[in-house]
Structure 1
Amino acid sequence: MTFEKLAVACKWPKEDWAIHLIPLLTGKARSAFIAMDPGNNMDFEKLKEAILKKYEINADTYRSQFRAMDTSQDETPQELYIRIKDLFCKWVKYDTSSKDALMETMVLEQYMRVLYPEVRTWVKERNPMTAAEAATLVENFVAAHKGSKRYRYAGVLDRQPWGKSDGVGSGRGSGAPPNYSRNTPPPPQSKVPLQGVSCFNCGREGHKSPACPLRKPKMS
């Protein structure tokens, strides 16, 4: 960000940005440059992409930082606004995104949040670019696990502030299994309930499946 602001202030032609940046690179950034295809060395956007990838900085990184509630004690209200706005633009690639692409980004995040953890992880590993692609992947997952008791793919969305979220796919999917009755009284909690933990067996919070009061004993 500092380099780009400097380049704009100095009115350097963008085709010359890479030439000015390369001598300043060190460590992982320099390694990323060395590993690049020589034909792309002078392309600033490709150089920037290679450096960010080396540091494992991507759209999901910006999204997590955008959703986070942490702020610096020295950050002014105006600085906070600028930082959050910048993170959002980087997350959704605002400068190059259409309205449809922006919508897909937001819908994809929400879609991933309500998936059960094992489904969410499986889908994220396949890196869907849109919510429609994610839905197709979930359908494939469900079809492959139809014979399993755990084939249900999503549950209830966490009722928590964005800042408490892990971001995309942060919903714990604490919905009750299909046969669970809404009229069933809540199971008794332990003296020290587990905060933020949901039981897969009954869907209630405060305990794990092995300690679930509604768990049926295994037949000997």
Structure 2
Amino acid sequence: MPELPAFAERKDDLDSWLLWFERFATTSGWPKESWDTSLSALLTGRALETFNRLSQTEATDYDRVKKVLQRRYNLTEDGYMQRFRTCSPEEGENPSMFIVRL
């Protein structure tokens, strides 16, 4: 089992967390075929519930799992558009940091 902190939906942004997970898995040399297993061990709350509703075939396909999770958390084209329209600088964030976050 990977030594990574579990996804905590109350404090983690799923999109950023998945990017971090993928970078960690890649730099650690994990074969992509095992990412679904490692990911499932790190999911909690709604993300874990969503994963558990997948068929066995879907649950063993990392790209499919990622897509389903993104849809569950509204990380879709419409969801991103809504986030973009309502986004504002966070406290202590300079303009460059804000642009990168956009």
- Give me the TM-score of the superposition, normalised by structure 1: 0.34
- Give me the TM-score of the superposition, normalised by structure 2: 0.67
**Match in the other structure for 1:204:** none
Could you tell me which runs of 5 or more consecutive residues in structure 2 were left unpaired when the two chains were aligned.
1-15
**Match in the other structure for 2:22:** 4
Report how many residues are paired. 84
**Match in the other structure for 1:75:** 93
**Match in the other structure for 1:23:** 41
- 1:37 equivalenced with 2:55 (yes/no): yes
Among 52, 66, 75, the residue aligned to 1:57: 75
Larger radius of gyration between Structure 1 and Structure 2: 1
**Match in the other structure for 1:48:** 66
How far the C-alpha of 1:15 sits from its partner, in A, is 2.3
Counterpart Cα distance in 1 of 2:56 and 2:39: 16
Amino acid at match of 1:55: Y
After superposition, the CA RMSD in angstroms is 2.0
Describe the SS at the equivalent of 1:65. helix
Deviation above 6 Å: which 4+ runs of structure 1? none
Counterpart Cα distance in 1 of 2:76 and 2:68: 11
Amino acid at match of 1:50: V
Counterpart Cα distance in 1 of 2:26 and 2:95: 25
Counterpart Cα distance in 1 of 2:87 and 2:48: 33
- Comparing both structures, which one devotes a greater share of its residues to helix? 2
**Match in the other structure for 1:158:** none
Counterpart Cα distance in 1 of 2:83 and 2:43: 25
Please give the per-residue CA displacement for 1:63-96, whole angstroms capped at 9, x wherever unaligned.
1222334111222333222222xxxxxxxxxxxx
